[in-house]
Structure 1
Amino acid sequence: VNGAPMGSVLEPSEEREIEVAVAGGHALDYVEVLHNNRVIERVSGHELSAAADPYGEPFQIHMEVGWAERNEDIDWEVALTVAGGELLKIEPRFRGHEVVAPSATEAESYAFSHWERSGAQGVHFRTRTWGNPTTVTASTQGICLTVTGGPDTRIQGTVNGHPVSVSLSRLVAGPLAGYLGGFLTPSYYFQRAIPAAEATARLQFTHRSATNGRDWYYVRVRQTNDQWAWSSPIWVG
């Protein structure tokens, strides 16, 4: 607000220049700017500008492992490389045990996930999953790769010794899942490749307010995977 970052307290002014920049970890559903807890500006995901060249910008590829029988613990070892493209960034998306119903006994270990970069274009990780304790409580583990490349760029490697290979064009079209065995066996899942244009947004506008008290502004963001973010407020007055 007026060039000041989140958490600032500004002198009173009737005219405020608002600038917002959002970079998500998935496709954005909407971005809202709120003034005194009321929405004054909103941009929805379908309003975001698509890139002229869909392969001219980075993609986020979130790969998950898990599922299987409910009370079955699965140890995972996964190695992935980017062939014919560039691996720009690796973001681990691991989780700990969900305490759905507290127990008198504790887990043997709480530190069971580890990842490391494998050369310039690869990643290797170990982790553990267990059957989802409820229908709304996930216990999958995953990692997100930010990559650049063309339609023939491939994500390839092994998942617990099973070879996997998928083209970027296939993941642009939609997600891909695979079982390590038959139904109810451990599985892996590549989510749809998310282009940068779907995960970023910028807003710039002028807002006028003549309230006598202190005003505040903040940003609320929702992603299409139901993850949310709220900014710290900026106070005026």
Structure 2
Amino acid sequence: MNIYWGDIHNHCGISYGFGSLENALKAARGQLDFVSIIGHASWHDMPEKTKELEFLIDFHEKGFAKLASRWDQIVETVNKANVPHEFVTFQGYEAHSSEYGDHHIVCKGDDMPLFQGISPYEVVKALSPREVIAVPHHVGYTPGYRGGNWDTFDPTISPVVEVFSKHGCGMSDDSAHPYLHDMGPRDSRSTVLAGIRKGLRFGFVGSTDHHAGYPGSYGDGRLAVLAKEKTRDSIWEAILARRTYGVTGDKIQCGFQVNGADMGSEVIAADGREIRLDVKGCDRLDKIVVYKNFMPWQTIAGESLRTKNNPSAGKFKVRVEMGWGDSKDGYFWQGEAGIQGGIIDSVETCFRGRSVLAPTPEMRDNPDLNELHNELLAQSETKVSWTCTTFKNPTTLHSHTAALILEINGDVSTVIEMNLNGKQLSATIGELLQGSRSVHLKAYNSEAILFHRAVPEYEYSYSGTWTDFETEAAECDVYHAEVRQTNNQFAWISPIFVMKP
């Protein structure tokens, strides 16, 4: 099967987000294979309005009304953007709930009426017999405070759960990427692992929950599906079958099987289960863990994939990054990279939208807020050209740079030459195997360009096969896997559920 990349939970100016729907669809086409752009529809058990909560209640109610007033136009625009085998779109909107947790409702077809003022489960019921799913998101928040509710969770309408977004990672209360938004911390009772420990069966996905009209914004969450083709039918079938996994940003390619059955499957097997994991990353692999019943079963340290001597020839990945500086309103880049003595096998873009998770009193919508000109303009075996916009990093711990990942087939003498905004930088693969190279555009507090250390193929690829002869759980053993790169990019692979005959 093929791996296709998407974001089925992101927001723009159709409700209480920012930027136009048209620009959001354009951004999605630039980095993704499929998308659902979500409007905020309702909050059936919203807190009572007080002076303290006036802004919170008002922006929600105005957003809900805005979505309703434009719903027919939104459905038509999203439908027109759907081009089978090129770019796939799904209709969808969000239903908040303090009691049940927030869900985004995604519909396979275009005939999706807007239902407001009812719970996520009531929305799904009202949409019957249409094919819809309700995906719980930011589940790790406190129960009753819009965290996940595993007591009411229904796997028949929620085949997948969002494990990562701009809110952070909800896998467990000690996972990397904690919840830091003003909605509060993670609570172990609501986390993804708490749900699976209850015996619930669902797959893992990521999506951005981006509020400034930029689906697939790098580092904020994406999902992968294993599907036969790039069509609504095929991608929908993959989601229902839980052949999914979530990533932070890098498009880490993963395959995970038990006895030949893919991620998300339910397998009947006794002893002698063959587990296979294949990973092709975008940077150095740091740690891979295969879990059995939530405990580490196989652990692969990235250091074990490295050798004392770098290869003289083969495939290498080089990340070309640009940004830094102090531009709060955006800095525009136009660049070209060329290769001498080698060829470019693939190019992956790592473009971001403005970092917005929720409205603030000072923010004002602008339809062009998400028109950032983040585009791959041309690509050949020896050249690639692009434009993009970067912003000042929000803090010293939060990046707002942009990057391209070049997979290069060459040797230590292969030269990478780059011209960005008139500034040139060049290095050989051999030099970059020893370390990174950078250059600044101005004398001080300036935007900069970085060639990252070159990564040879054996450091970003892994394949492993094991046989498990031990049945542990009385009813069902659960296997899942996590991948971490040295640049702190993750993949969370959907579980496989193995039952005794």
- TM-score tier after normalising by the smaller chain length: over 0.9
- On the 8 A contact 1:55/1:148 being kept in 2, the answer is no
How far did 1:118 drift?
A: 3.8
Larger radius of gyration: 2
Matches within 5 A, 1:39-58: 39-48=296-305, 50=307, 54-58=311-315
Tell me the matched-pair count: 237
Matches within 5 A, 1:178-217: 178-207=439-468, 208-217=470-479
- On the 8 A contact 2:314/2:411 being kept in 1, the answer is no
Indicate yes or no: 2:370 matched with 1:106: no
2:354 maps to a residue whose letter is H
How far did 1:93 drift?
A: 0.8
Q: What is residue 491 of structure 2 aligned with on the other side?
A: 229
Percent identity, aligned pairs only, is 30
Residue 63 (structure 1) aligned to one of 308, 320, 327: 320
Change (3 A) 1:97 1:5: same
Partners of 1:199 and 1:185 in 2: CA distance: 31
Partners of 1:169 and 1:143 in 2: CA distance: 19
How far did 1:137 drift?
A: 1.6
Give the 3-state SS of the residue equivalent to 1:98 in structure 2.
coil
CA offsets per residue over residues 12-31 of structure 1, 9 Å max, x none?
Answer: 41321111111111101111
TM-score scaled by length of structure 2 = 0.45
Indicate yes or no: 2:283 matched with 1:22: no
Q: What is residue 433 of structure 2 aligned with on the other side?
A: 172
1:206 maps to a residue whose letter is T
Partners of 1:42 and 1:152 in 2: CA distance: 35
Partners of 2:358 and 2:265 in 1: CA distance: 41
Q: Mind listing any 5+ residue stretches in structure 1 that lack a counterpart?
A: none
Change (3 A) 1:118 1:236: closer
More deviation in 41-50 or 52-61?
Answer: 52-61
TM-score scaled by length of structure 1 = 0.93
1:34 maps to a residue whose letter is Y
2:371 maps to a residue whose letter is A
How far did 1:51 drift?
A: 9.4
CA offsets per residue over residues 2-51 of structure 1, 9 Å max, x none?
Answer: 11111111114132111111111110111111011011111101111549
List 4+ stretches of structure 1 deviating above 2 A. 49-53, 70-73, 100-104, 106-109, 116-120
Change (3 A) 1:157 1:89: same
More deviation in 28-37 or 67-76?
Answer: 67-76
- On the 8 A contact 1:218/1:232 being kept in 2, the answer is yes
Q: Mind listing any 5+ residue stretches in structure 2 that lack a counterpart?
A: 1-257
Give the 3-state SS of the residue equivalent to 1:222 in structure 2.
strand
Q: Larger helix proportion, structure 1 or 2? A: 2
Q: What is residue 160 of structure 1 aligned with on the other side?
A: 421
Partners of 2:328 and 2:473 in 1: CA distance: 57
Give the 3-state SS of the residue equivalent to 2:381 in structure 1.
coil
Partners of 1:106 and 1:193 in 2: CA distance: 41
Partners of 2:385 and 2:351 in 1: CA distance: 14
Change (3 A) 1:52 1:170: closer
Partners of 1:188 and 1:116 in 2: CA distance: 19
Partners of 2:339 and 2:497 in 1: CA distance: 45
Change (3 A) 1:177 1:72: farther
Change (3 A) 1:166 1:106: farther
- On the 8 A contact 2:313/2:412 being kept in 1, the answer is no
Change (3 A) 1:132 1:52: closer
1:106 maps to a residue whose letter is D
Give the 3-state SS of the residue equivalent to 2:326 in structure 1.
coil
Kindly report the root-mean-square deviation, in angstroms, between the aligned alpha carbons of the 2 structures: 1.8
- On the 8 A contact 2:344/2:380 being kept in 1, the answer is no
Partners of 1:205 and 1:163 in 2: CA distance: 48
Return the structure number with greater relative CO, CA threshold 8 A, min gap 6: 1
CA offsets per residue over residues 172-212 of structure 1, 9 Å max, x none?
Answer: 11011110111211110111011111111122111121432
Residue 94 (structure 1) aligned to one of 343, 351, 372: 351
Q: What is residue 412 of structure 2 aligned with on the other side?
A: 151
More deviation in 148-157 or 80-89?
Answer: 148-157
Partners of 1:151 and 1:41 in 2: CA distance: 34
How far did 1:57 drift?
A: 2.3
2:345 maps to a residue whose letter is L
Q: What is residue 137 of structure 1 aligned with on the other side?
A: 398
- On the 8 A contact 1:70/1:133 being kept in 2, the answer is no
Q: Larger strand proportion, structure 1 or 2? A: 1
